[in-house]
């Protein structure tokens, strides 16, 4: 099943770049379809607020056909084994994205549990980490590399937060002792 992340569907008449290609492949896993049937299926999908135009779908089908991801017989398109493999790669990529979102949520929960407010520094740091991941990812071992880079980034953020908490704890202990050892 193709996962549609809710914030992606909030923009009217727009979908994320590259979405159409995988959505068409996903639809074709259900069986052969004409271009019009693909358009109608997308338009009636309750998870989407999007109806692709023929000017988007037919050129996309042409590219998918040319790349060997679909084949056409008697006006209907069907997914090839190569197309199924491409879609499986996309599903693995989605799983990594979902894991990254879960890791960010876990980090946010830990920050909230320690009563440490999220500052622009933390947000900038997370954004920087995501940008580093984008720059360092190469085509080979992409998924494994994403996980390694992101794991290292999250570890460094947790270490930084723990150090800040230790400093705050020491300051609090010192303030509770009072001046010059008086209790």
Mean pLDDT by 10 residues, the chain (183 residues): 46 65 92 95 85 92 96 96 92 85 81 60 72 59 66 81 85 72 52
**Cross-strand partners of 33:** 77
Rounded to 10 degrees, the C-alpha dihedral 69/74/76/79 comes to -30
Last residue of a domain, one of 54, 79, 104: 79
| 183 domain residue, yes or no | no
Do 28 and 58 lie in one domain? The reply is yes
Residue-level pLDDT at 28: 95
pTM of the entire structure? Answer: 0.52
| One domain for residues 102 and 169 | yes
Quote the number of domains for the chain: 2
Enumerate residues 6+ apart whose C-beta is below 8 A from 45: none
Give the residue from 57, 79, 101 where a domain finishes.
Answer: 79
- The domain containing residue 28 runs over which residues? 6-79
pLDDT at 11: 41
What sign does the CA torsion over 22, 27, 32, 33 have? negative
In a domain, 118, yes or no: yes
The answer to whether residues 59 and 107 belong to one domain is no
Residue 110 lies in a domain: yes
Res 80: pLDDT: 96
Q: Do both 129 and 55 map to the same domain?
A: no
Residue 116: what pLDDT? 55
């Amino acid at each position: 099943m193709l996962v549609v992340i809710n914030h992606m569907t909030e923009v009217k008449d727009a979908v994320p770049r590259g979405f159409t290609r995988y959505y068409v492949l996903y639809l074709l896993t259900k069986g052969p379809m004409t271009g019009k049937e693909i358009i109608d299926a997308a338009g009636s999908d309750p998870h989407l607020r999007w109806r692709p135009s023929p000017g988007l779908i037919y050129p996309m089908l042409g590219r998918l056909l040319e790349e060997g991801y679909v084949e056409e017989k008697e006006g209907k398109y069907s997914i090839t084994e190569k197309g199924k493999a491409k879609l499986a790669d996309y599903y693995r990529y989605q799983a990594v994205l979902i894991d990254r979102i879960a890791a960010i949520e876990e980090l946010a929960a830990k920050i909230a549990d320690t009563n440490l407010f999220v500052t622009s520094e933390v947000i900038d740091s997370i954004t920087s980490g995501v940008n580093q991941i984008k720059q360092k990812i190469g085509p080979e071992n992409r998924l494994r590399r994403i996980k390694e880079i992101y794991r290292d980034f999250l570890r460094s953020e947790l270490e930084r937060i723990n150090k800040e908490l230790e400093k705050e704890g020491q300051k609090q202990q010192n303030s509770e002792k009072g001046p010059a050892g008086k209790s």
